[in-house]
Amino acid sequence: MNVKLKVWRQASGQQSGGFEEYEAKELNPNMSFLEMLDEVNEELIQAGKEPIAFEHDCREGICGSCSLMIGGEPHGPEYRVASCQTYMRSFKDGDVITIEPFRSKAFPVLKDLVVDRSAFDRIIQAGGFISVSTGSAPDANSIPVPKVSADLSMDAAACIGCGACVASCKNGAAMLFASAKAAHLNLLPQGQAEKDRRVLAIVETMDAQGFGSCSNTYACESACPKGITVDFIAKLNRDYALASVRTKLLGAAA
């Protein structure tokens, strides 16, 4: 199969960018989208031209680094897959495919299709951890965890931090990511001691990084390759309201 590509090229965040067109020919429909980009880059290198910069690592839908807008959709046309799990058989012979970086004020472009998503790292640093004493591993049944809580926590922990939720939101909100990172700890007994501090720190850091407010369109849930639901956003809103009240009451009492 043959396709035409319109790829966003930008030398750096300090320079303006634009689309450039390329042709990808004689492709195997079963190759991944990133493998197709590899072939295009091989041709560019052989021609003495600058290859297209794009992020990738595991190529198994685990690390979340392959963040691309493909045909105007985060990660492409398929449902609940990352860019690296999108295959050329999802497109038709002769298609024109537009490839862009994830666009958000909080995700500045570094080069071509690569964006700086360290804002997510700062949100995790603010509250995505617990400070309980570690030591040796406890017995499996020493801390009972209700199955419902364990299942929900695992659902939230599935978030790979790719940023598709931000890219799909018209306001560039990171509420789905932030709520998942808060929930997977707050739902477990080990996370209860720092629950209020965690929620407040995550939300305040998220706002400080320049993310927009939740648009309530559910676009984030639709774009998430791991199926994180907006139910976690509702939980974050409740937890944040309660934590704010409790913190004010404790401050007044002191």
The reply to whether 123 and 100 lie within a common domain is no
The reply to whether 127 and 104 lie within a common domain is no
Q: Assess whether pLDDT exceeds 70 at residue 134.
A: no
State residue 167's pLDDT score: 97
Structural domain tally of the chain? 2
The reply to whether 207 and 238 lie within a common domain is yes
The reply to whether 103 and 126 lie within a common domain is no
SS3 content of the chain, % helix, strand, coil (to 5): 40, 15, 45
Which residue would you say has higher pLDDT here, 247 or 135? Answer: 247
CATH number of the domain to which 55 belongs: 3.10.20.30
CA distance 26 to 55: 24
- Within 8 A by CB and 6+ apart from 161, the residues are 64, 117, 120, 124, 177
pLDDT single digits (tens) 184-234: 999 998 899 899 999 999 999 999 999 999 999 999 999 999 999 999 999
The reply to whether 88 and 151 lie within a common domain is no
The reply to whether 123 and 249 lie within a common domain is yes
The reply to whether 124 and 105 lie within a common domain is no
pLDDT single digits (tens) 73-109: 999 999 999 999 999 999 999 999 999 999 999 999 9
The reply to whether 204 and 174 lie within a common domain is yes
Residue range(s) defining the domain that contains residue 56: 3-110
Mean pLDDT of 55-59: 96
State residue 140's pLDDT score: 65
The reply to whether 93 and 157 lie within a common domain is no
Give the pLDDT band of residue 254 (cuts 50, 70, 90): low
The reply to whether 99 and 172 lie within a common domain is no
